[in-house]
Every structure is written in structure tokens, then in C-alpha cells.
A and B are shown apart, each in its own frame.
Chain A
Amino acid sequence: MRIASLVTRITQQMRRDRRTLALFFLAPLLILTLMYFIFDTEASDLKIAVTGSDETMVKALEQAGFQVTVAEKFSKKVMIEKNTDGWLHAENGKMELTLLNDQPSRAKAVQMQLMQGLQGHVKTTPLIEEQYVYGDAKTKGFDTFSPMLVSFFVFFFVFLIAGIALLKERTSGTLERLLATPIRRYEIVAGYVIGYGSFALIQTIIVVLYAVNVLDIVLVGSIWLVLLTNILVALVALSLGTLLSSFATSEFQMVQFIPLVIVPQVFFTGIFPLDGMADWLQKIGKIMPLYYASDAMNGIMYKGFTFTDVSLDLLILLAFSVIFITINIISLKKYRSL
């Protein structure tokens, strides 16, 4: 019941603070829309596999700048495993091009480079049939990183708003007053988690529905899985935000955590290709919650991954939040040892 009363209070407070509420729900949509129109990326180091073809073709492709693999047999499954951007199969003078299309900008680059490479080496430009592993010809670059953006917004706003809320509670003395009542430390943390968590859930639903229905972003997998992932993201953000708020003495100091905690995570969400990064840099990415969130979200929304496919990511996110929540409960000991 104490947890419920805390949840009620947080809900009342949020409902009264219209501007924060608007920021929480509408700002993600605004930024998402902006990025939808702005973004596009370049590609390099394109890998292509060739089956059933002769050496002139391979040479031509190598000259065109591809990393060429010649194989007897090849399949979409191998493409996914080896992260091959394209697979060119020649049979009876006909060509079939399969594109991985995990990043549409790379798929486009494969098509362009292929056209240029084949010109002059092949007498007549052959008819090429195209197939896609992920998405289709209409896939835009935005489709692949918008899932990450959804998670990012959830993380960012929950982190900030929950962090500042607890900070305010600290500085105004209400936290101390709260601890002078028989409330348990875990009840305070649970109240925060449920109270702000439910707002985060609403935010996620709005953002996902907007992304899918208005911006027409691909959603291959289950929307429930998307929501589950983002609930976990919200949990991590909430527990990390409230935890870090104990190291801040003002709202301004809380905002200072953005370049330290939020911005670095953005680099590892896949908005910038991870493959090209140095090994040590990739290792850093693996300690960041948003890395796992993005991996899961991209998998679900774009590649149609199921629960089993993303369960490791979700488990790691859960572990992050459990750790942070535990530290939160312990850190409240600073005020009261009970």
C-alpha cells in the first residue's frame, strides 16, 4: 500500500507538470520526425559472395572495390552468419543478386558498385534479379536505426526526469521526511520504479505507434516484444538516473550527466556502424545498456527476431537494472539504516 501511495503521488505530480509531460511524450516524436527527414549514411568495405560465375567476373568485382568470396554453395543463412552484404549467383546467363540489407545504405552501395563494376567487362549488362534478406527495395536507412532511437528516447527522458525527481526529493527535504515515516527503503525505490515506469510505458507506446503508423517505419517482429524491451530500458534508465542523482546537488549538475552518460551511449547504438570500430572501442560499447537495447530493438523491429533471439540482450538489460536498483536501495542507507 505504501508503494501504491508513492505511485499515486508521482502520478499526481506528473499530471500537474504539463510541460514535463509534454516533453516526455512529444519531444521524442519531434526529434524522430526530424531525423526521419535528415538522416542517411555512407558505406565502405562491402563484402560480396559469388557463386556459379567465372574468373573475369570475380576480377571485375574486385576491381570495383568489393571483398569477393568465391564459393560453391552459398545461402542466406551463411550471409547472415558471415555478414556478407551481397550474394551474386550466375546461372544460365541470368544473374541473381541477394542483398543482406541490414543497413539499406550498404545495400544501395552494393547495387551501385555492382553496376559500375560490371559495365565494360560483361558484353551485355545482364538482367539482375534482386532479393533481400532483410526488408525490401523500399527500405530506408531510417528504418534500421529508428528502433534504436525509440529506445534512446525512452532511456534519455526517463533517466533525466526520474533522476531530477529524486534529486528534488533530496534537496527539498521530502526524502528525509519520507524516511521519518515507517516506509522501507525498497518501497521508495519500488514506488519510483512503478510510478515513473508506467509513464515510460505510455511514452514507449506513443513513440512506437507513431514510428510505425505515421512515419511508416518497418516493424517485422512483435510489438509486445518491443514494449517489453523498452520497459527494461526504462528500468535501467530509471535506476541509473536515480542512482546518479545522489551525486548531483542541483538540477544543473544532473544535466551535466548527459554528455557523460547519455551521449557516449549513442555512439554504440548502431547509428554509427559498429563493424568499423577498433576492438577496444567495441568492448567499451559492451558495458553500455543502450548497446544491448539497440541490438534487441533492431532485431525485433527490422529483422523480425523472436523472444529467443533477443533473450540474451533482454537478460543483460534486466541484470543492469537489478544491479542499479540494488545499489539504489543500499545508497538510501546514507539517510536511514533501516
Chain B
Amino acid sequence: MCTLKNAVTIEGIAKGFHQKKVIGSLNMNIEKNGIFGLLGPSGCGKTTLIKMIVGLIKPDAGKITVLDHEVPNEALLMDVGYMAQSDALYTELTGAENLEFFAKLYRLSKKERRERIQYAAEIVQLTNDLNIRVAYYSGGMKRRLSLAVALIQNPAILILDEPTVGIDPVLKQSIWQELERLRNEDHKTILITTHVMDEAERCDKLAMLREGEIIASGTPEALKAQYAVETLDDVFLKIGGER
């Protein structure tokens, strides 16, 4: 593994759809071994930005470097665990079959597959429901299975698009504990989007996105201090009010 400080470097990225600007000339660095939160109202370009980092959308301009490789790079896809905003699962298959399918796409050996499926299912607490078809899963269970899919190949970077939507507080707590453990023990880099402020509080670094531009970034504490407010909600409202 390389010894760079940044896991993701974004230089002058721009993207528009149908002549409408979605991301405009954006620079951002995501440090290794930390939880980076991307914050912003819906439609601000979070998902577009994330898809560009994964390599699913090609930027109109600029350059994205992930782990010393310029996106898109095939080898990189092995190191990036992606959880989309919508649950991209095969509902006719069981949870285990879904995990098995994705594990095979990463060319994991039979032994690795068994271990990783067991591990990922335990983290999202789906071990007992693995043999049920996804069609019968609840919304929260599908979300959890999507997270398990993102973890399946043991990637160095996790890119999670609103991972905790529709998940109850108890499970949300345990997922966050696991994310923190992944950061502390496995030294993973985690990029997460959210619009829930209590989750933002738990991130190491934050970037606030509005209309495709970063309007503020830093640690949660620094942001609060910068705008002299008590909560991140207030930071957001304050910046939002300055339009």
C-alpha cells in the first residue's frame, strides 16, 4: 500500500447534465484512515460527486485520484466498496445469494467468500436472515444488505451514499460503531453522505456541499467554531441563509 496522506484527491472537477451545472469546479481532499462526511441538501450534487469518485460517471473537466490511481482504473474497483443510494439488490435471490454473486465478481476464493459473507452479514446483523429472499426483506434489511455488499471484498475505501436511511436508531448506532472500528482497527477510509446532523458530528472531517460547490469544510468542531454556533444544524442554516 502506498504511503500517501490522501486517499482521494479531487482537482477542478466539473459536471453538468443537460446544460445544467451539477458540480462546478470542485477541489477536495479526503485523508486516509478517517471518516469523511459529505453534507448537503438533496439535489446538491452529493451523489453525482460520489459516482464520479467511484468511476461510474465521467467528469466534464478535472481529475480524480484515488489511492494514487487516476479514476477510472480497473484495479481500483477492487479497493472501493460502494453502496448506492438505492438498494441495488436482486430481489429474487436470497441475501446469501446476493453476497455470493458480488463476492464472485471480485474473484474471491471459495474460502474467502465464505469468510467474507459471514463477516459482512454479522456486521449488519443479517446472519439469521441470509436464506430469505430479498423480496421479503424490510427496507432497513435491504439497506443493511447493501452495506454488506459494499464490505464484501474488504476494500480499503468505503464509499457509502446515505447508508443509514430507513435504519432504526439501535442498528444505526451499531453500524456507526462498526464504521469507527473499521477506521480504528482496519485503517479504512470511509466516505459517507448524509443529511442527518448527528451522524455528521461523528465524522472526522466534513464538507458541506451546496449547488455543486463546497461552501465549508473542516472538522465538526472547527466548523462550529468558525461560524460561532452550537450545532452543525446551525452551521448549515447560517451558511444556507447567506444565499
Contact residues of A with B, CB < 8 Å?
1-2, 4-5, 8-9, 12-13, 16-17, 172-174, 176-183, 335-338
Contact = CB atoms under 8 A, between A and B. Distances in A.
B88 A181 contact: no
Interface in B67-101: 72-75, 77-78, 80, 82, 84, 86-90, 92-93, 97, 101
A2 B77 contact: no
Given A2-B105, A182-B105, A9 B78 contact: no
Contact of B93 (A1, A9, A338): A9
A5 B54 CA distance: 23
Contacts of B149: 177
B92 A176 contact: no
Given A12-B97, A174-B89, 14 more contacts: A2-B105, A4-B104, A9-B90, A13-B90, A16-B93, A173-B86, A176-B88, A177-B84, A180-B55, A180-B77, A181-B105, A182-B105, A338-B72, A338-B74
B229 interface: no
Contacts of A182: 74-75, 77-78, 105-107
A9 B107 contact: no
B74 A16 contact: no
Interface of B: 51, 54-56, 58, 72-75, 77-78, 80, 82, 84, 86-90, 92-93, 97, 101-102, 104-107, 133, 149
A174 B82 CA distance: 12
B84 A337 contact: no
Contact of B82 (A1, A9, A177): A177
11 contacts: A5-B105, A8-B101, A13-B93, A172-B86, A176-B56, A179-B56, A180-B55, A180-B56, A180-B84, A337-B72, A338-B55
B88 A173 contact: yes
A1 B104 CA distance: 7
A4 B55 CA distance: 25
